[in-house]
Amino acid sequence: MLDRDERDRLTARLHHAVSGFVDGPRRAVEEADGIFEEAARHLEDALTHRRRVLREPWQGARHAPGTPGTDSGAPSGGPGSASAAETEELRLALRQYKEATERLLRL
């Protein structure tokens, strides 16, 4: 989820903190805590961005009134029915969600 440069930078900082443990245990742990917090913040930002990107194709089309193949609020064949184009967009969105979630679970 993090780009390579950011991951390398945080890894180098963590290595520095770990190697400084003998000379200053508390300082090393405080540094590691700060690195963890920064990594978590970067990860949260990346996940928020990814979620926005994943939602855009299928939510944007659904909420655009008058757009062919979108939910206009009127029944068009029963609950959950969708045009072929919309179904394909939803299939792609589901695949992207599956891949992103599997990557997240491997962290």
> What mean pLDDT do residues 71-92 have?
65
Q: What is the pTM of this model?
A: 0.64
- Structural domain for 85, as ranges: 4-65+80-105
User: Would you say 1 and 107 are in contact if contact means Cβ atoms under 8 Å apart?
Assistant: yes
Read off the pLDDT of residues 31-77 as tens digits, 9 standing for 90 and up: 999 999 999 999 899 999 999 999 998 887 665 555 554 444 444 44
User: Would you say 1 and 50 are in contact if contact means Cβ atoms under 8 Å apart?
Assistant: yes
Mean pLDDT of the chain: 81
Total number of domains constituting the chain:
1
The answer as to whether 90 is a domain residue is yes
Query: CA–CA separation, 95 vs 49, rounded Å?
Result: 17
The answer as to whether 73 is a domain residue is no
The answer as to whether 39 is a domain residue is yes
